[in-house]
């Protein structure tokens, strides 16, 4: 004798009848409608994790810029050094040299507050370059005196002659910009003149030094 199974009076979810699996003895097992959680999970798409956003490597960009800037500066310095070496080999440049040929002191009057003097200076400038010509502007001359001894009525001074001028070099048809130079000649010995006879300075040990004067904003180096 077999048992009879009656269908449920409640309708299946979504209006569709759920199929009843057969029992072991040939009868269908009872089914239950799906709950809301099962229906939501069935309609929800599968979760796929998104890859993290790429971050801009600012530090790496800064390092690259610094590296390229350093390489460019080094390349420019290398090219400048090569150009300077080629110029030196071709022209063998030398600074102009100066010497004091003669110095005469014809008048020297000293008072408590002022003094007056009259000098006659012969200065020689030499250019040892065969392919470079120097062009000078007006030269400013100063005579600075030191080591003064007037206790015994005599005067023995050791002037330092200071010359300031601007010079530019000419190489073929090319002229450079003007450069200020200062020439200092030291080691001159001269005595005070007597009467109308001018004193002649001793210039055998005079040494003149040429220094370029570079102006940076308000300072002169």
Name the nearest CA neighbour of 181 among 216, 219, 220, 142: 220
Please, are residues 120 and 106 in contact by the beta-carbon 8 Å criterion? yes
Per-residue pLDDT, 46: 63
Per-residue pLDDT, 162: 87
10-residue averages of pLDDT along the chain (221 residues): 49 44 51 59 63 61 84 94 90 89 83 78 89 90 63 51 90 90 88 82 87 70 52
The C-alpha atoms of residue 64 and residue 58 are separated, in whole angstroms, by 10
Per-residue pLDDT, 209: 92
Per-residue pLDDT, 58: 62
* pTM for the predicted model, two decimal places: 0.57
β-bridge mates for residue 189, sequence order: 202
Q: CA angle 111-145-148, nearest 5°?
A: 65
Per-residue pLDDT, 37: 57
């Amino acid at each position: 004798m077999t048992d009879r199974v009656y269908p449920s009076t409640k309708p299946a979810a979504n209006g569709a009848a759920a199929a009843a699996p057969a029992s072991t003895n040939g009868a269908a097992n009872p089914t239950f409608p799906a709950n809301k959680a099962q229906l939501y999970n069935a309609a929800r798409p599968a979760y796929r994790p998104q890859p993290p956003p790429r971050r801009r490597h600012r530090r790496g960009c800064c390092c690259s810029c610094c590296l390229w800037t350093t390489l460019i500066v080094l390349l420019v310095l290398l090219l400048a050094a090569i150009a300077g070496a080629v110029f030196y080999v071709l022209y063998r440049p030398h600074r102009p040299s100066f010497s004091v040929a003669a110095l005469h002191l014809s008048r020297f009057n000293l008072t408590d507050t002022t003094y007056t003097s009259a000098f006659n200076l012969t200065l020689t400038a030499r250019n040892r370059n065969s392919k470079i010509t120097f062009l000078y502007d007006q030269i400013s001359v100063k005579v600075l005196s030191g080591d003064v001894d007037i206790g015994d009525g005599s005067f023995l001074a050791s002037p330092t002659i200071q010359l300031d001028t601007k010079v530019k070099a000419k190489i073929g048809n090319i002229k450079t910009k003007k450069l200020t130079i200062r020439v200092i000649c030291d080691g001159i010995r001269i005595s005070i003149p007597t009467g109308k006879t001018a004193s002649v300075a001793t210039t055998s040990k005079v040494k003149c030094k040429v220094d370029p004067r570079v102006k940076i904003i308000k300072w002169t180096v």
